[in-house]
Amino acid sequence: MNSNATRRARVARQIVWPALVLASLAAAPALAQTTTDYPNRPIRFIVPAAPGSAQDIIVRLLQPYLEKSLRQPIIVDNRSGASTTIGADAVAKATPDGYTLLVEPTTLTVSAALKAKLPYDIERDLEPITVLVKNPLLLAINAKLPARTTMEFVALAKAAPGKINYATPGAASQSHLLFEMWSARAGIKMQHIPYRGGGPAALSVAAGETQLALLSPVVITNHIEAGTVRALATGGLVRDPQFPNLPTVAEAGFPGFEAVQWLGLLTTGRTPKAIVQKLNHEVNRVLRDPDVTAKLALQGTMAAGGSPEEFRDLIAAEIRNWKEVARNANIEPQ
């Protein structure tokens, strides 16, 4: 290389390298801004169920408290269908910036265990934030049926095999799987009628379109109070403080049977850890608010909370459990 070429190369390095350094320094604050200034615009909560469902009611109850805590508007976006898969997939494929969140019930783990193929990978594409609430489900029937106890209902079902319809929030939902387990233990055969969410399923029992449901108190308590639906038992292993006079399904003749639902908050996989931790901190703070816990109690549910890691472990454990339940019940992946 001659002296002129050497000089030109040296000048080029003197121009290019400072430019690269300046570019990297300019990019660093922009990268930091995505986490330290989060959130700086509205956050979308995708609820993969119909308006009036348990998820929808809980989110709208928490909405004003979370907006105050996060200092940003929250948009509730209902995207029901396919046993919550449509809504979950929308979050899984969103930009991983913490502005698209998923409010998902136990159906998330049931779908992972029962569906042969999902459009997303739970471990890779969804990031757990925390469990919002937990509550035992209620076993409830249309009030016009001549049954006052769980075993009286079983007797009615045995006398009319295949004639009684039970409602669920959707095919392959937690309620669906639990009913298949319970029917086998009770020795009864019923027809499954899936709906698009817990609200429509509860309404179907109240209207007499179906005769039985196993749903969250959030969506069925109003129908019980109106006298159109009668609760027979609660799904916890111990009696629910909200329904102290109501026996558990286990007490009513099915020892060990448990039907408890949780509702969790997740976001898109690969979302920066700092954003996930901030969301976890703020949501847990809201869940500890006495006003919030009191309002949740009125809905028949209990505030939960916890770390992202604890929620991740719960998801993994439940997927293993539902797979075992499906094998024992001879339920093939869909």
Cβ atoms of residues 80 and 196 within 8 Å: yes
Residues 6+ apart with CB under 8 A from 131: 262, 263, 264, 265, 304, 305, 306, 310, 311, 314
For 1-44, how does the pLDDT look when each residue is reduced to its tens digit (9 = 90+)?
555 554 554 544 554 455 444 454 444 444 444 578 999 999 99
What is the maximum span of the chain, computed from C-alpha positions, in angstroms? 103
Exposure string over 100-114, b if 16+ CB within 10 A, otherwise e: bbbbbbbbbbbbbbb
Inform me whether the pLDDT recorded for 183 exceeds 80: yes
40 token code pair? 């700086």
Cβ atoms of residues 165 and 210 within 8 Å: yes
Closest CA to 250 of 182, 190, 330: 182
Rounded-to-integer distance, Cα 269 and Cα 125, Å? 4
Question: In which order are the strands placed within the sheet that holds 165-168?
Answer: 191-194, 165-168, 212-215, 138-142, 229-234
Distance of CA 68 to the CA centre of its chain: 23
Closest CA to 197 of 224, 218, 227: 218
pLDDT for residue 181: 87
Rounded-to-integer distance, Cα 199 and Cα 217, Å? 11
Cβ atoms of residues 222 and 60 within 8 Å: no
Which one has a higher pLDDT value, 118 or 52?
118
Cβ atoms of residues 242 and 134 within 8 Å: no
At residue 326 the predicted structure's pLDDT band, cuts being 50, 70 and 90, is confident
Inform me whether the pLDDT recorded for 328 exceeds 90: no
For 148-170, how does the pLDDT look when each residue is reduced to its tens digit (9 = 90+)?
999 999 999 999 999 999 999 88
Cβ atoms of residues 140 and 222 within 8 Å: no
pLDDT for residue 4: 52
The sign of the torsion formed by the CA atoms of 232, 235, 239, 242 equals: negative
pLDDT for residue 331: 73
Work out the end-to-end distance of the chain between its first and last CA atoms, rounded to an integer number of angstroms.
69
pLDDT for residue 21: 45
For 197-227, how does the pLDDT look when each residue is reduced to its tens digit (9 = 90+)?
889 999 999 999 999 999 988 889 999 999 9
Domains and CATH numbers, the chain: 43-134+261-328 (3.40.190.150), 138-234 (3.40.190.10)
pLDDT for residue 144: 97
- HSE on the CB side for 309, CA within 13 Å? 0
Average pLDDT, the chain: 89
Average pLDDT value for residue range 321-330: 79
pLDDT for residue 30: 42
Residues of the chain with pLDDT > 70, as a percent, come to 89
Inform me whether the pLDDT recorded for 104 exceeds 80: yes
pLDDT for residue 88: 97
